[in-house]
Amino acid sequence: MAAPEVTPVLDAWAVAQRQFDIAADRLNLDPELRAVLREAERELIVSVPVRMDDGRVEVYTGYRVQHNLGRGPSKGGLRYHQDVTLNEVRALAMWMTWKCAVVGIPFGGGKGGVAVDPKQLSERELEGLTRRFATNISVIIGPQSDIPAPDVNTNPQVMAWIMDTYSMHEGHTVPGVVTGKPISLGGSEGRAEATGRGAVVTISEAARHIGLDIIGARIAIQGFGNAGSVAGTLLDSMGASVVAVSDTQGGIYKADGIDIKAVKAWKAEHGTVVGFPGSQNVTNADLLELDVDVLVPAALENQITRENAPRVKARIVAEAANGPTTPDADEILYANGVFLIPDILCNAGGVTVSYFEWVQDFNRDQWSEEMVNSKLTAIMVRSFGEVVAMAEQEEVDMRTAAYLLAVDRVAKATALRGLYP
């Protein structure tokens, strides 16, 4: 009797490198340049001891990875999650390099994380963890070298602690060392909604491109955190019908549409969307296979795989999360005529407005939310058009097209700078 087939564990770094290889092959990238861009430029692993409320000391492991600095300082979020690994952070840093390049902002890619479940920490313990981690990575971060931002389980308060810690070491206030700060500390209007808003701009452009009327379009959102809830709110306001949303505890489905405002209130009170009155429960896996027009994966990596991709019914998949679709699944979705908006384009609104915040900090300026949203929309629309044009020119899927644009831009910058010494 044959042994059952074992599905291999998907490694985010292996996925990121494979995605790069596909573009590098098509670009016929110089082998030496390829070798440079395929690896991270700098990696820092730190021990993060924290004095807990009961007096004992717990030690956590933290990471900061800078993938490429060819086009400017590295830029990327900081996540607190018990499953954070070096390979995950490497992958996220590489994706940030391509994300910044595809929307044309002058940053390279970076990412950071601490392997911790922040929900098990008190606020004092969380502050202690953040300040010690910030101190340990202060040797490589800075407003001209590497600028962290919020990510999974981090927020403006965490950024405020990092800014203050770094500033105390420098002896003066340095608001530009992080983005995603509270507005009163140099944060930008529109930053909190930027990732979801940017995703919605690309969804709107994609719907227009394939001839889908967004009014009445059925939407399913996996992950009802910041990006997912903002995207749901905006799509609802445009006349779309959000029929399913989910979080870490599960999902809900309502065929005639969900009241997004009411679901947000329910989650705020109960800590989950599950149990929302009048809805039926669905699993996160089942949500991906619902009969909808637009599927928005806004959770974690490797959600759409070769196993479930054949059952995805959506006409548009909009990757508000980083790395939710594996390379094998990409091929299946493309063959089935699904229009995929790749993560490095779809969720680039966050880093775009982070760039705006960084510029405002250096100029000691404050833009209006209307100005921020207008500039964001212009960049997302232009970038979407450039990726579509590349896809049509090269007769490739949207992810490959986005990578061709991004890798080519980074490769040219790296080649122009040369190798030193």
Catalytic positions, please?
111
User: What is the DSSP annotation of 286-329?
Assistant: HHTTSS-SEEEE-S-SS-B-TTTGGG---SEEE--SSS-B-HHH
Give the residue from 189, 179, 320, 294 showing the smallest Cα distance to 240. 294
Instruction: Determine the Cα–Cα distance for residues 32 and 29; give it in Å rounded to an integer.
Output: 8
| Residue 290 near residue 317 (C-beta atoms within 8 A) | no
Instruction: Determine the Cα–Cα distance for residues 22 and 419; give it in Å rounded to an integer.
Output: 24
The two three-digit tokens of residue 319, written as one number: 């990757």
| Residue 117 near residue 94 (C-beta atoms within 8 A) | no
Give the residue from 117, 64, 60 showing the smallest Cα distance to 90. 64
State in Å, rounded, how far the first CA of the chain is from the last one: 60
The two three-digit tokens of residue 199, written as one number: 């995703």
